[in-house]
Amino acid sequence: MWIREERDITADIRPTYLLMALNVLIYFILAIKGGSFFSLSMDMLGTYGQFNLMVRHYGWWWQILTAMFVHVNLPHLALNMFWLYILGRRSEYLFGRKYFLLVYLLSGVSGNLMGLALPLYTVSAGASGAIFGIFGANIMVERAYSGSRLSSTLMYAFLILMINSLVGVNVLAHLGGLIFGILFGYLYGERIMRRYFYRNEWYWWH
């Protein structure tokens, strides 16, 4: 009986909320460490973000992973956490929590790998590549159901295109994450949609 309750408690934990909390926590730790609250110092970004020079010439490959949890400033963090909240909860429901985390992390890594094609002294950071990945996977999964929720998908696409037009955005990281997400959705979209329709409708609200 005790084991059953323990599993129920664990089941209530959403990976989306954990990822959001982790991103926010890391931002404030680095902000305090760097002595700048509204935006991170270049020292913090160059150490924990993705500094192409350090990755390509000095083997700091761990930055490909850490960079997706580092954000340049508070507006950057807020925007990414907004999209993670919107897309993450739906992705958890469609893909399952394990596959959601897999798509999120691998999309972020894919985006950062593509970002290495930018000049050596480029410093980039943020969860955008991972978020574009779950966005791409959502598009393909909904496409598997003959255009289900097409209007909301087009709205997301329009807003994301606007974001990509902003100055200083790492478009290659976005593209790399998006490509991985689309490939995942293409390969597993039909299977995911079958899973979606076999689940109880009330589960979405819990």
The reply to whether 174 belongs to the active site is yes
Tokens of 46: 């160059």
> Active site residue: 39, 128, 151, 165, which one?
128
Is 76 labeled as catalytic in the residue annotation? no
Contact 130, 177 (CB under 8 A): yes
DSSP code per residue over 72-119 = SBHHHHHHHHHHHHHHHHHHHHHH-HHHHHHHHHHHHHHHHHHHTTS-
Catalytic residue among 71, 107, 110, 174: 174
Cβ count near 59 (within 10 Å):
8
Locate 12 and state its tokens.
């209530």
Catalytic residues: 128, 174
